[in-house]
Chains A and B, each alone.
Chain A
Amino acid sequence: MANDVAVKSFYQESTNKYSGILSWLLTKDHKRIGLMYMIAILAFFVVGVIIGLLMRLELIAPGRTIMDAQTYNTLFTLHGVIMIFLFIIPGLPAIFGNFFLPIQIGARDVAFPRLNLLSWYIYIIGAILVLVSLFLPGGPIDTGWTFYIPYSVRSTTNVSMALFAAFVLGFSSILTGLNFITTVHRLRAPGMGFFKMPLFVWATYATAWIQILATPVIALTILLVILERTFGVGIFDPALGGDPILFQHMFWIYSHPAVYIMILPAMGVVSEIIPTFSRRTIFGYKAIAMSSLAIAFVGYLVWAHHMFSSGMSDTARWIFSLLTFIVALPSGVKIFNWVATMYKGSIDPQTPFLWVMNFIFLFSIGGLTGLVLGSLATDIHLTDTYFVVAHFHYVMFGGTGTIFFAALHYWFPKMFGKMYNKKFANIAVVAYFIGFNMLYFPKFIMGYMGMPRRYYDYLPQFTIYQEISTIGSWILSGTIFFIIGYLIHALKYGKKATSNPWGGVTLEWHIPSPPPLENFETIPIVTHEPYDFSQLKEMKDE
Chain B
Amino acid sequence: MGISPTTHAESVDFVMLYIVAISVVLLLGITATMVYFVFKYNRKKGHAPVDIHGNLLLEVIWIVIPTLLVLSMFYFGYTSFRETREIPDNPFVVKVTARMWQFSFEYPNGKKTDTLYVPLSTGIDLEMRSMDVNHAFYIPAFRIKEDIIYGKTNHLYFTPKEVGDYDVACAEYCGLSHSAMYTKVKVIHDNEFTTWYGSNWQPQNK
Which residues of A are in contact with B by a Cβ distance under 8 Å? Answer: 69-70, 73, 142-144, 148, 150-151, 154-155, 238-239, 243-245, 278-281, 283-287, 309-311, 314, 317-318, 321-322, 325-326, 328-329, 332-333, 335-336, 339-340, 342-349, 357, 360-361, 364-365, 368-369, 371-372, 374-381, 383-385, 448-450, 452-459, 532-533
Return chain B residues, CB-CB under 8 Å to A379.
Answer: 77
* A381 and B59 in contact, given A148-B134, A309-B146, A311-B147 (Cβ under 8 angstroms): no
Q: What are some 23 contacts across the A-B interface (CB < 8 A)?
A: A73-B175, A150-B133, A151-B173, A154-B132, A238-B150, A284-B54, A318-B81, A325-B74, A336-B30, A339-B34, A346-B47, A347-B41, A361-B27, A364-B31, A368-B23, A377-B15, A378-B77, A380-B144, A381-B140, A452-B138, A452-B170, A452-B179, A456-B179
- Assuming the contacts A279-B43, A377-B80, asked whether A347 and B38 have C-beta atoms less than 8 A apart, the reply is yes
* Chain B residue contacts of A533, Cβ below 8 A: 49, 51
- List residues of chain A with CB within 8 A of the CB of B146: 309, 311, 380
In the complex, A69 Cα to B101 Cα: how many Å?
A: 13
Q: In the complex, what residue of chain B is closest to A310 when comparing beta carbons?
A: B147
Beta-carbon nearest neighbor of B62 in chain A = A336
Partner of B43, one of A325, A347, A450: A347
CA–CA, A344 to B41, complex, Å?
Answer: 6
List residues of B (8-32) whose CB comes within 8 Å of A's CBs: 11-12, 15-16, 19-20, 23, 26-27, 30-31
Chain A residue, CB-CB nearest to B53: A281
A329 touching B152, Cβ below 8 Å: no
Which B positions have Cβ atoms within 8 angstroms of A?
A: 11-12, 15-16, 19-20, 23, 26-27, 30-31, 33-35, 37-38, 41-43, 47-55, 58-59, 62-63, 66-67, 70-71, 73-74, 76-78, 80-81, 83-85, 132-134, 136, 138, 140-141, 143-147, 149-152, 154, 167, 169-180, 182
Q: Is the CB of A309 within 8 A of B74?
A: no
CA distance A142 to B138 in the complex (A): 22
Interface pair A380/B143, CB less than 8 Å apart: yes
Cβ of A459 and Cβ of B167 under 8 Å apart? yes
Rounded to whole Å, the gap between the CB of B46 and the closest CB of chain A is 8
Known: A349-B38, A375-B15, A377-B15. A310 touches B149 (CB 8 A): yes
- B43: chain A residues at CB < 8 Å are 279, 346-348
In the complex, A238 Cα to B133 Cα: how many Å? 10
B37 close to A345 (CB less than 8 A):
yes
Contacts of B81 in A (CB 8 A): 317-318, 376-377, 380
CB-CB under 8 A for A279 and B49, given A150-B134, A368-B26: yes
Q: A454 to B173: give the CA distance in the assembly, Å.
A: 7
Interface contact A278-B76, CB-CB below 8 Å: no
Distance between A157 CB and nearest chain B CB, rounded to angstroms = 10
Please judge, given known A-B contacts A335-B30, A343-B52, A376-B80, whether A238 and B151 are in contact too, CB under 8 Å: yes
Which of chain B's residues has its CB closest to A533's CB?
B49
User: CB-CB < 8 A to A380: which residues of B?
Assistant: 12, 81, 84, 143-146
The one of A284, A339, A455 that contacts B37, using a Cβ cutoff of 8 Å = A339
Give min CB distance, B173 to chain A, whole Å: 4
Bound form: Cα–Cα A457–B176 in Å? 11
When chains A and B are docked, how far (Å) is the Cα of A287 from the Cα of B60?
A: 11
* Most chain A CB within a 10 A radius of its CB, from B67, B147, B150: B147
Partner of B19, one of A143, A329, A346, A378: A378
A368: chain B residues within 8 A (beta carbon): 19, 23, 26-27
- Are B77's CB and A321's CB within 8 A? yes
B76 near A375 with CB under 8 A, answer yes
Contact partners of B19 in chain A: CB under 8 A: 368, 371-372, 375, 378
Complex Cα distance, B53 from A391, in Å, reads: 33
CB of B67 within 8 A of CB of A321, answer no
Nearest opposing residue in chain A for B16, CB measure: A378
Once the chains are docked, how many angstroms separate the CA of A316 from the CA of B82?
13
Give the contacting residue for A329; candidates B33, B63, B150, B173; CB below 8 A. B63
- Docked Cα-Cα span, A346 to B178, in Å, equals 55
The complex places the Cα of A372 from the Cα of B147 at a distance, in Å, of 19
Contacting residues, chain A, for B134 (C-beta < 8 A): 148, 150-151, 244
B131 smallest CB distance to A (angstroms): 11
Please, how many angstroms separate the alpha-carbon atoms of A385 and B143 in the complex? Answer: 12
Inside 8 A of A453's CB, which chain B residues have their CB? Answer: 171, 173
Q: Assess whether A357 is in contact with B77, with CB atoms less than 8 Å apart.
A: no
- Asked whether B41 lies within 8 Å of A374 as measured between CB atoms, the reply is no
Contact of B149 among A245, A344, A385 (CB under 8 A): A245
Additional 20 contacts, C-beta under 8 A, given A314-B85, A325-B73, A348-B42: A73-B175, A148-B172, A151-B174, A244-B151, A280-B50, A309-B147, A339-B37, A345-B49, A346-B49, A360-B30, A371-B73, A372-B16, A377-B78, A377-B81, A381-B143, A450-B167, A452-B171, A456-B179, A533-B49, A533-B51
Cα–Cα, bound, A321→B26 (Å) = 21
Give the distance in Å from the alpha carbon of A285 to the alpha carbon of B147 in the complex: 44
| CB pair B175 A151 closer than 8 Å | yes
Q: Are B49 and A381 in contact (CB under 8 A)?
A: no
What's the Cα separation between A110 and B167 when bound, in Å?
A: 57
Check if A329 sits within 8 Å of B70, measured CB to CB: yes
User: Do A280 and B66 touch (CB < 8 A)?
Assistant: no
A287 adjacent to B12 (CB under 8 Å): no
Contacts of A283 in B (CB 8 A): 52-55
Distance in angstroms between the alpha carbons of A142 and B173 in the assembled complex: 10
Chain A residues with CB under 8 A of B132: 150, 154
Instruction: Contacts A347-B43, A371-B70 given; indicate if A321 touches B138 (C-beta within 8 A).
Output: no
Point out the residues of chain A lying under 8 angstroms from B67, CB to CB: 326, 329
- Specify which chain B residues have a CB less than 8 angstroms from the CB of A357 in the assembled complex: 34-35, 38
Chain A residues with Cβ under 8 A from B30's Cβ? Answer: 335-336, 339, 360, 364
Residues in A whose Cβ lies below 8 Å from that of B63: 329, 333
Q: For residue A371, give the distance in angstroms from its CB to the closest CB of chain B.
A: 5
- List of A residues within 8 angstroms of B141 by Cβ: 450
For residue A364, which residues in chain B have a CB less than 8 angstroms away from its CB? 26-27, 30-31
Among B34, B53, B169, contact of A450 (Cβ-Cβ < 8 Å):
B169
Q: Is the CB of B66 within 8 A of A448?
A: no
Q: Are A347 and B37 also in contact (CB < 8 A) when A322-B74, A336-B62, A372-B16 are?
A: yes
Residues in B with CB closer than 8 Å to A69 are 176-177, 179
**Taking the nearest CB of chain A, how far is it from the CB of B159, in angstroms?**
16
